[in-house]
Amino acid sequence: MTSALAPDALGPTICVGEILVEIVATTVGTGFVEAQPLIGPFASGAPAIFISQCGRFGGQAAMIGAVGDDDFGRVNVERLKRDGVDVSAISIDPEFPTGSAFVRYRDNGSRDFVFNIARSAAARFGWSVPVSDLVGRGGHLHVMGSALSMPSAIAVIDKAVDIIKARGGTLSVDPNIRKELKLDAETEHRFDRLVSAADLLLPSGEELERAAGVDGETAAVRRLFERGVKEVVLKRGADGASYFNRDGTRVDVPAFVVEEVDPTGAGDCFGGTYVAGRRLGLTPQHALTYAAAAGARNVTRLGPMEGAGTRGELDAFIASTGRYS
């Protein structure tokens, strides 16, 4: 089946947004109100996790964002380079530090965060000569809904969508916005415009209905196709994943059975693998299987992208790991 996404040969998949380090508490409990052991820094930020996995799988990949002129920034840039990501459009801020997220897990698996994004280098980038050069040769743009809270990212995304689409490129959107979250009118309009322009939508759970604006899975998928979306891939966690095409085709794949160590980044690794796979010519079935494997493998390691896998590593994981029936 022909992919709705532009072929990898057209140019890299580009992701725009926050680049962070993540520092994780090794104790389970609530918050950070007392001294405790920590581990890190780990390279992080949802867009960075996505593009790292895209590069590791073998797709052309590039990142737009910013880090500070500090060790945390170097951790991120060097990690992305190792994973095959073009970092030419990552700016180095001489004044503000690299963004950070401190994470502690609770008994029930939920998390407490202490973020520094808005007042860090992560939020301080914009249109520049390196960004213009990269977007001008881009083949695909991936946008996460969380980026819509960053004015710097919004300004770049608005221009990049039009440029990449004009040269025959494509757009994927991971809503990453809960159904209950109320956006201001301008951000709501921008989110709706991105969804309508998307060639691929990658929601998780209730994000499907949130993006479509209607309740019920079947009605939501139908509404998205009416708005112009070409492919929908619904991430279902332990229940696997489903592919929907506007021609009525549906593909379901089961999840892999793993022991979860750290769930952060699973959906981002799933998305990065699926987009890379489809752009490299894989069928929906094969791309979904690799994507499910990437998400599952990632949760077996501590750190938000420490389990990200190459195609060979994912082949080995698929061959050796059971799946839910």
Per-residue pLDDT tens digits for 73-118: 999 999 999 999 999 999 999 999 999 999 999 988 888 889 999 8
Mean pLDDT of 203-231: 94
Residue 188: the pLDDT is 82
| Contacts by residues 289-294 (CB-CB < 8 Å, ≥ 24 positions apart) | 289/253, 289/318, 290/57, 290/314, 290/318, 291/233, 291/241, 292/240, 292/241, 292/253, 292/254, 292/255, 292/256, 293/256, 293/317, 293/318, 293/321, 294/53, 294/57, 294/269, 294/270
Work out the pLDDT band at 180, boundaries 50, 70, 90. Answer: very low
Residue 312 CB neighbour total at 10 angstroms = 9
Q: What is the mean pLDDT of the chain?
A: 94
Per-residue pLDDT for 1 more than 70? Answer: no
Task: Provide the pLDDT for residue 183.
Answer: 66
Average pLDDT, integer, range 142-152: 88
Q: What is the mean pLDDT of residues 141-168?
A: 93
Q: Is the pLDDT of residue 290 over 50?
A: yes
